[in-house]
Amino acid sequence: MGLADLTSMNDLVSLCKQRGFIFQSSEIYGGFGGCWDFGPLGVELKLNVKNSWWKAMTFREDVVGVDASILMHPTVWKASGHVDGFSDPLVDCKSCKERFRTDQINLSAPCPKCGAKGQFTESRDFNLMFKTQVGPVENTASIAYLRPETAQGIFVNFLNVQSSMRKKLPFGIAQIGKAFRNEITPGNFIFRTREFEQMEMQYFIKPGEQKEAMEMWKTARWNWHLENGLRGEKLRWAPHPPDKLAHYADAAVDIEYEFPIGWGEMEGIHSRTDFDLKAHQQFSGKNQQYVDQVDGNKKYIPYVIETSVGCDRHILALLCDAYRVENAGNPETERTVLMLRPSIAPIKVAMMPLMKKAELEDVAQKLFQDIQKKYRAEYDTAGSIGKRYRRQDEIGTPYCVTVDYDSLKDQAVTVRDRDSMTQERVGMDKLVQYLQDHLKL
Ligand code: GAP
């Protein structure tokens, strides 16, 4: 039995569409650049990923969560450096008007779109924040931005959280939420989009303790990717060289995943110093110092270690990693399987009466109701059993349960394992326990 990895992103895009994971946004209108919609299975998968992150980050004594609003006071983005510095260099082809990122194009070569030579405009900076207007009057005072990162909603609430939760340093604040960037070149499915979700955590520490805290979070975050099922050999560290560090960081490292399109950033772990809190203190005029009762009531602005992972990017990595073709090229035995961990799989169990007959369905429905009390399950009667197995393999369902005519006699069902395809006969009264033992959820 040979297992081949995903080689083309197009295969994944079409499986995701066919099977209800991810659709192009506004598809009936021809789509909308850089935006995607999660379908019924995609939304379950996403919830599982978010839950796994939330559990890993906040089921500990030193981290609490928030859910800040997307729209914030515009001065937040002045203080954070985004109004002045969050931009990509951009050129236009004078002939076809297509825009390119200056750093992604060879300016002495012909236009990659229309082939015209020497036709690019001067490079200029293009701010990636989406502007909108708040309230009914269109003037500069009413301008707001869709947040380009969730982190600032944490920074501006640092003292609210610290004092209301009586937190002592070191402690972290975690948040999951939408972020928006007017990317010039969105693409590669959900790798780079204009609307996406981030899962970010800021860990506030005493200045000088950043090395230790960074190491702790590097280990924790690497392990989380492995626990969700990514293969270790497809992950690597990518430290930012000192001359490429963001304006706020004194050290930074990415966790990269080897996508079919090559290695790409999935998560960033940044040592952000006191840059953000200091800037907010300056722009708001509100003191952001922490009073360290353990250290003689010393006052200082904490340093910050940030962990920032794109929820959609991690989902893309999980889907790429789990997508396997078994016995590729053999028309008889070839099958596509999403080998997702049970904790991540959108559907845990599929219940399948062998045929659409009342005597089988009565039993299957009753078992289905029992399973559903504990697990997200699907009841499937459509098509041959082979076709039904194939569909469940493609959506990554770990176990399929079949009720057949023997079940009426021996009060047992057949449970099929997705990865090994082995089948086991299990007594109906032991089914839920069997699933629990095997799913380990
Ligand atoms: N607060 C720090 C921050 O936002 P970042 O490296 O710009 O850092 C963090 O973004 C993560 O967010 C990235 O590693 C990536 O997973 C995700 N991300 C960033 N831009 C994205 C985009 N346009 N589409 C999808 N995910 C994106």
Element (H, E) at 326: strand 323-326
pTM as predicted: 0.95
Element (H, E) at 424: strand 423-427
Residue 139: the pLDDT is 79
Please tell me the total number of residues recorded for the chain in this structure: 441
Residue 246: the pLDDT is 85
The CA distance from 280 to 417, in Å, is: 54
Which class does domain 3-72+150-319 fall in? Answer: alpha beta
For residue 106, give both structure tokens: 């060879």
Residue 174 has pLDDT above 70, yes or no: yes
Ligand 1: centre distance to CA 310 (Å): 5
Q: Show Cβ contacts of residue 324 under 8 Å, excluding neighbours closer than 6 positions.
A: 3, 4, 5, 6, 336, 337, 338, 339
Residue 35: the pLDDT is 98
The pLDDT tens digits of the residues spanning 26-38 come to 999 999 999 999 9
The answer to whether 190 touches 36, Cβ cutoff 8 Å, is: yes
Structural fold of domain 347-439: Rossmann fold (3.40.50)
Instruction: Compute the average pLDDT of residues 101-123.
Output: 89
Q: Say whether the peptide bond before residue 302 is cis (omega within 30 degrees of 0).
A: no
The pLDDT tens digits of the residues spanning 302-323 come to 999 999 999 999 999 999 999 9
The pLDDT tens digits of the residues spanning 57-82 come to 999 999 999 999 999 999 999 999 99
Pocket test for ligand 1, best of 147, 225, 265, 315 (most atoms within 8 A of CB): 265
Q: At what angle do helices 358-372 and 431-439 cross, to 10 degrees?
A: 50
Phi, psi (rounded to 5 degrees) for 79: -60, -40
Region for 331 from its dihedrals, namely left if φ exceeds 0, alpha if ψ lies in -120 to 50, beta otherwise: alpha
Residue 280 has pLDDT above 90, yes or no: yes
The minimum-distance atom of ligand 1 relative to the CA of 191 is: 25
Residue 183, ligand 1, Cβ within 6 A: yes
Q: Tell me if residue 184 falls in helix, strand or coil.
A: coil
Ligand 1: centre distance to CA 171 (Å): 23
pLDDT-above-90 percentage for the chain: 90
For residue 422, give both structure tokens: 């082995």
The answer to whether 347 touches 392, Cβ cutoff 8 Å, is: yes
Residue 161 has pLDDT above 80, yes or no: yes
The answer to whether 399 touches 374, Cβ cutoff 8 Å, is: no
**Would the CATH topology of 3-72+150-319 be identical to that of 347-439?**
no
Q: Confidence class of residue 104 from pLDDT cuts 50, 70 and 90?
A: confident
Residue 213 has pLDDT above 80, yes or no: yes
The pLDDT tens digits of the residues spanning 186-207 come to 999 999 999 999 999 999 999 9
Residue 1 has pLDDT above 70, yes or no: no
Ligand 1: centre distance to CA 29 (Å): 28
The answer to whether 186 touches 193, Cβ cutoff 8 Å, is: yes
**CA atoms within a 13 Å half-sphere pointing along the CA-CB vector of 165:** 18
The CA distance from 290 to 163, in Å, is: 10
Q: At what angle do helices 210-227 and 40-58 cross, to 10 degrees?
A: 140
Pocket test for ligand 1, best of 195, 308, 316, 318 (most atoms within 8 A of CB): 308
The answer to whether 273 touches 303, Cβ cutoff 8 Å, is: yes
Residue 3 has pLDDT above 80, yes or no: yes
Q: Confidence class of residue 103 from pLDDT cuts 50, 70 and 90?
A: confident
Residue 439 has pLDDT above 90, yes or no: yes
Pocket test for ligand 1, best of 49, 237, 313, 314 (most atoms within 8 A of CB): 313
Residue 152, ligand 1, Cβ within 6 A: no
Residue 146, ligand 1, Cβ within 6 A: no
> Mean pLDDT for the chain?
96
Residue 159: the pLDDT is 97
Q: Show Cβ contacts of residue 242 under 8 Å, excluding neighbours closer than 6 positions.
A: none
Q: Show Cβ contacts of residue 399 under 8 Å, excluding neighbours closer than 6 positions.
A: 348, 349, 350, 415, 416, 417, 418, 435, 438, 439
Residue 153, ligand 1, Cβ within 6 A: no
Residue bearing the CA closest to ligand 1, atom 18: 310
Instruction: Compute the average pLDDT of residues 248-252.
Output: 91
Q: Where are the domains of the chain?
A: 3-72+150-319, 347-439
The minimum-distance atom of ligand 1 relative to the CA of 150 is: 1
Residue 149, ligand 1, Cβ within 6 A: yes
Residue 200, ligand 1, Cβ within 6 A: yes
Residue bearing the CA closest to ligand 1, atom 4: 149
Dihedral, CA atoms, 180, 182, 183, 186, nearest 10 degrees? Answer: 80
The minimum-distance atom of ligand 1 relative to the CA of 254 is: 14
Residue bearing the CA closest to ligand 1, atom 16: 310
